[in-house]
Amino acid sequence: MAIRYPNGKKYQPSTPSTSPAQKKSVSYGKRGMSLEQDLNDTNAYYLANKLAVIHKKPTPVQIVGVDYPKRSSAKIKEAYFKTPSTTDYNGVYNGKYIDFEAKETKNTSSFPLNNFHPHQLTHMEDVLEQGGIVFIIISFHTLSEVYFTKFEHFQPFWQRMLDGGRKSVTLQELREVSDQIPYGLNPRLDYLNIIKKHYF
């Protein structure tokens, strides 16, 4: 199935290549999960335990081509992203609106800012102006380190890039303005503890 962006470019999903030998070397404690899976599991735990209601936002897609190989089934052949997506997750916790973006990198010393789109930063600024809790979760997959960064602490790095400065945030810079989220079992990445620390 071909999925296209609003500008017509074809969407190419990232498919990390891992050999069988690499898969065996993954630490069982970390389970080799992606950040998205870790957060989805964490949010499911929060929901089941009535701690918070936070979900991953679905990306709106417009279907333009459908094939009917059988009368009883349909196969989507071509689709477009209707609008640029905003952030990955939103919901409510303790009466406050939560909105955050989650990003993952294999880099070990810096995080490339081109992982973000300008409209995402604009959206987070708008949510912050309305009193929402806005933050970014960044995973350095190779290091097995995950950081919680308040949006107001991340935004200066973006502005620095717009002003002609470096196009990435060093790991050290990020550590100075962020809280590290430790891996756990249930919940997997307990970011609510950090929200409590900063906002309640």
Q: Identify each DSSP E strand in the chain by its residue range.
A: 2-4, 53-56, 61-70, 73-81, 89-93, 96-105, 110-112, 133-140, 145-150, 168-170, 179-180
Token code pair at residue 157: 């790095």
What pLDDT shows up at residue 22? 44
Binding residue numbers for Mg(2+): 86, 88, 101, 120
Domains and CATH numbers, the chain: 43-199 (3.40.1350.10)
- Give pLDDT tens digits along the chain (200 positions): 566 666 566 666 554 444 444 444 333 344 446 999 999 999 999 999 999 999 998 765 656 677 777 767 777 776 555 555 689 999 999 999 999 999 999 999 999 999 999 999 999 999 999 999 999 999 999 999 999 999 999 999 999 999 999 999 999 999 999 999 999 999 999 999 999 999 99
User: In this structure, which long-range contacts are made by residues 63-71, counting pairs with CB atoms below 8 Å and at least 24 apart in sequence?
Assistant: 65/2
Residue list for the binding site: 86, 88, 101, 120
pLDDT for the residue numbered 17: 45
pTM, two decimal places: 0.75
